[in-house]
Amino acid sequence: MLQASIESRSEQLLKAKNFCHVGTIRKDGTPHIVPVWVDTDGGEVLLNTAKGRAWITNAERDPRVTLTVQNFENPYEYVTIRGRVAEVTHEGADEHIDALAKKYLDKDEYPLRQPGEVRLKVRIVPEYVHHNG
């Protein structure tokens, strides 16, 4: 697997308050696409979800994903990333969702947590990155 790099404007789009559409593959082969919050550590894409949600269940079965992050202020600008889920962990997931809540909602803690919810931090290694706009 060859890792593509997330550079300049693509990285800025991931770090800004833009949503990420995550495409995974269902058991029957059809696509499943959902909007999620996104972050990057500069080299990889970081997502967060709750255990049991459809998209992460799909990605754990088939780690191939396609991500599109569209510029909230200019929808004609976006970055598309194809890659693979490299890690799904509980470690640091609660702190990560709180950081995303700060980014997207300006809240210190994630306010939508459900009783018994288990958060997962998802690391995606990009194999293809294309910026448009």
Range of the domain at 102: 8-132
* 25-66 pLDDT tens trace: 999 999 999 999 999 997 999 999 999 999 999 999 999 999
Does 3 reside within a domain? no
Residue 19's CATH number: 2.30.110.10
pLDDT of residue 2: 66
**Angle at CA of residue 86, ends 1 and 41, nearest 5°:** 100
Number of domains in the chain: 1
Does 33 reside within a domain? yes
Separation of alpha carbons 99 and 46, rounded Å: 12
pLDDT of residue 3: 75
